[in-house]
Amino acid sequence: MIDQRLLRTDLDGVMTALGRRVRPAILEDVEESARLDTRLREITAERDAIRARVNTISKEVGQLRRDGNVEAAEALQVESRSLGESEKRLAAEHDELAATLNNLLLGIPNIPHLDAPDGRAEEDNPVVKGPIGLNDSFPEYRRVPHWETATALGILDNERATKISGAMFTMQRGAGATLARALCQYGLDLNADVHEEIRAPSLVSTATLTATGQLPKFADDAYAIERDDLWCIPTAEVPLTSIYAGETLDDSELPIRVMAHSASYRREAGSAGRDTRGMLRAHEFDKVEILAFATPEQAPALLDDMVARAERAIAGLKLPYRIIEICTGDMGQSHHRSFDIEVYAPGADSWLEVSSISWFSDYQARRGNIRFKRHDADGKPIKGTEFVHTLNGSALAVPRVWAAIIENYRNEDGSVTVPDVLRPYMRGIDRIVAPTTRAPD
């Protein structure tokens, strides 16, 4: 969440910055939060004054009783009891307003970076690199949607996936399943030089999902296991971010870089009317996530590095791609600055988002209470702590990359050539053919 102190020290600045998100309701919540914050401080002052008066009365009552002035002592005790009732009322009001303020703050999005482009919606996201590797034209045999090619090759069986689990679940088979696994291993290997691999839990607590910003605002998009107060992770970002929740790190440890391959679960509650065919949108999919904890000074360079790593994965697959920067009106709840990598799929005739890389400033760390301690040039601890900055990105998200490979690497005979960089993970498969078709010797 944003720093609550900014509501007192720079409310106009917060309003201006969040106004760039072009959603008036946000500013209404900020104004209401500032009003509640002011009232809470007033209540605290009133409560402290009452407590001070009660303490004074207690001393006066003791002295009056020692002096034998029982009547005056009892009168002061009546006042003390009245003040006690007032304190209880203030405490109840304080708790109610504090809960309301906390809920409001949890819903207020992060402040955009000054360099983030202004815009109202995704149509305003500028292309900052590319297109790269995009042909002027594609042969007709590559204009076939991946779901048709994959079904014909027997490597995608969404009909049976739906029978097993319901709509918007997918199932890769044979070489299709091998291709999905190969993509994950490829994504892990590309980042193993600096990112520690983690096998994190796939089920997390409400507090963990709140720390990354999915709750409470996006509860409808998450799968809940209500009996145990657990949630299926929408991305490995969630458990990875909370590894150090409630801890204070040393500045000498930073940056800390981790990665994880996991299944991701999303209800896609707002997907009505969107293209859900094939692998384009699913309730469950595999993804490799990279994440970093950093000081504020380290964060900008880490963002550049993570964008470059995600780009390297797509460039290595020799897929046509471009990089866009997310404008302020299209930013996610927790994002401070964000970039997407999109690949072109000729069969779907569209650009598909395959990676999102974001810097969250200290927004997530405030929710998760993840801090660090600085040291001076002589190595002596500096008084106080600060919140870390977090960054994360999709190093390799399987579904749309898988789909783009099937379309971009489709051959005239309907087979699909496996990209060179994936062949070491494919058990000798370099071309995916239909089950009844025998590859030539």
Beta-carbon contacts of 281 under 8 Å, excluding residues fewer than 6 positions away, are: 168, 268, 271, 274, 275, 399
Q: Which of 131, 152, 397, 368 is nearest to 261 (CA)?
A: 397
Beta-carbon contacts of 263 under 8 Å, excluding residues fewer than 6 positions away, are: 202, 233, 284, 285, 286
**Rounded to an integer, what distance in angstroms lies between the CA atom of residue 392 and that of residue 236?**
10
Is there a single domain that holds both residue 70 and residue 129? no
- 219 within domain boundaries: yes
Would the pLDDT of 80 be above 90?
A: no
> Distances in Å between the alpha carbon of 228 and those of 203, 204, 210, 240?
10, 10, 16, 21
Would the pLDDT of 1 be above 90?
A: no
Determine contact, residues 261/230, Cβ cutoff 8 Å. Answer: no
Of the listed ranges 21-35, 60-74, 319-333, the least confidently predicted one is: 60-74
What is the CATH classification number for the domain harbouring 16?
1.10.287.40
Is there a single domain that holds both residue 173 and residue 292? yes
Domain that holds residue 89: 6-107
Would the pLDDT of 270 be above 70?
A: no
Q: Which of 308, 298, 323 is nearest to 126 (CA)?
A: 323
Average pLDDT, the chain: 93
Q: What is the Cβ-side half-sphere exposure of residue 92, based on CA atoms within 13 angstroms?
A: 5
Determine contact, residues 337/359, Cβ cutoff 8 Å. Answer: yes
Is there a single domain that holds both residue 145 and residue 45? no
- 52 within domain boundaries: yes
Determine contact, residues 226/165, Cβ cutoff 8 Å. Answer: no
What pLDDT shows up at residue 425?
97
Q: Which of 342, 311, 314 is nearest to 421 (CA)?
A: 314
DSSP code string of 191-203: HTTTSEE----SE
Condensed to tens digits (0 to 9), the pLDDT of residues 362-399 reads: 999 999 999 999 999 999 999 999 999 999 999 999 99
Amino acid found at 168: M
Is there a single domain that holds both residue 206 and residue 98? no
Write the DSSP symbol of residue 375.
B
Is there a single domain that holds both residue 366 and residue 247? yes
The arithmetic mean of pLDDT across residues 306-317, rounded, is 98
Distance in Å from the first CA to the final CA of the chain: 60
pTM across the whole model: 0.90
- 43 within domain boundaries: yes
Condensed to tens digits (0 to 9), the pLDDT of residues 158-203 reads: 999 999 999 999 999 999 999 999 999 999 999 999 999 999 999 9
- 326 within domain boundaries: yes
**Rounded to an integer, what distance in angstroms lies between the CA atom of residue 95 and that of residue 391?**
33
**Rounded to an integer, what distance in angstroms lies between the CA atom of residue 380 and that of residue 377?**
7
Is there a single domain that holds both residue 220 and residue 292? yes
168: left (phi over 0), alpha (psi -120 to 50) or beta: left
What pLDDT shows up at residue 403?
96
The arithmetic mean of pLDDT across residues 17-27, rounded, is 96
Of the listed ranges 50-64, 143-157, 304-318, 422-436, the least confidently predicted one is: 50-64
The kind and range of the H/E element at 256 are strand 256-265
Q: Which residues are 325's β-sheet partners?
A: 339
Beta-carbon contacts of 60 under 8 Å, excluding residues fewer than 6 positions away, are: 73, 76
Is there a single domain that holds both residue 383 and residue 421? yes
Q: Which residue has the higher pLDDT, 436 or 335?
A: 335
Locate 303 and state its tokens.
């963002």
The arithmetic mean of pLDDT across residues 58-70, rounded, is 86
Is there a single domain that holds both residue 103 and residue 132? no
Would the pLDDT of 273 be above 80?
A: no
Going by pLDDT thresholds of 50, 70 and 90, the confidence category of residue 64 is confident
- 117 within domain boundaries: no
Q: Which residue has the higher pLDDT, 276 or 407?
A: 407
Q: Which residues are 381's β-sheet partners?
A: 375
Domain boundary residue among 107, 136, 156?
107
Determine contact, residues 323/130, Cβ cutoff 8 Å. Answer: yes
The arithmetic mean of pLDDT across residues 271-300, rounded, is 88
The kind and range of the H/E element at 289 are strand 284-294
> Distances in Å between the alpha carbon of 302 and those of 113, 129, 294?
15, 18, 8
What is the CATH classification number for the domain harbouring 360?
3.30.930.10
- 200 within domain boundaries: yes
Is there a single domain that holds both residue 181 and residue 301? yes
Is there a single domain that holds both residue 70 and residue 170? no
- 195 within domain boundaries: yes
Is there a single domain that holds both residue 403 and residue 328? yes
Q: Give the number of residues written for the chain.
A: 441
Domain boundary residue among 107, 132, 150?
107
Condensed to tens digits (0 to 9), the pLDDT of residues 209-238 reads: 988 888 887 888 899 999 999 999 999 999
The arithmetic mean of pLDDT across residues 315-326, rounded, is 98
Report the number of distinct structural domains present in the chain: 2
Condensed to tens digits (0 to 9), the pLDDT of residues 99-149 reads: 999 999 999 999 999 999 999 999 999 999 999 999 999 999 999 999 999
Locate 198 and state its tokens.
């983690």
What pLDDT shows up at residue 436?
67
Percent of the chain, pLDDT > 90? 83
- 253 within domain boundaries: yes
Is there a single domain that holds both residue 289 and residue 227? yes
**Rounded to an integer, what distance in angstroms lies between the CA atom of residue 108 and that of residue 106?**
6
427: left (phi over 0), alpha (psi -120 to 50) or beta: left
How many Cβ atoms sit within 10 Å of the Cβ of residue 222? 19
Q: What number of H helices and E strands is found in the chain?
A: 12, 16
Long-range contacts at 51-58 (CB < 8 A, ≥ 24 apart)? 51/87, 53/83, 54/80, 54/83, 54/84, 54/87, 57/83
* Residue 221, helix vs strand vs coil: helix
**Rounded to an integer, what distance in angstroms lies between the CA atom of residue 2 and that of residue 107?**
10
**Rounded to an integer, what distance in angstroms lies between the CA atom of residue 109 and that of residue 383?**
30
Would the pLDDT of 271 be above 70?
A: no
Domain boundary residue among 76, 107, 138?
107
Determine contact, residues 156/171, Cβ cutoff 8 Å. Answer: yes
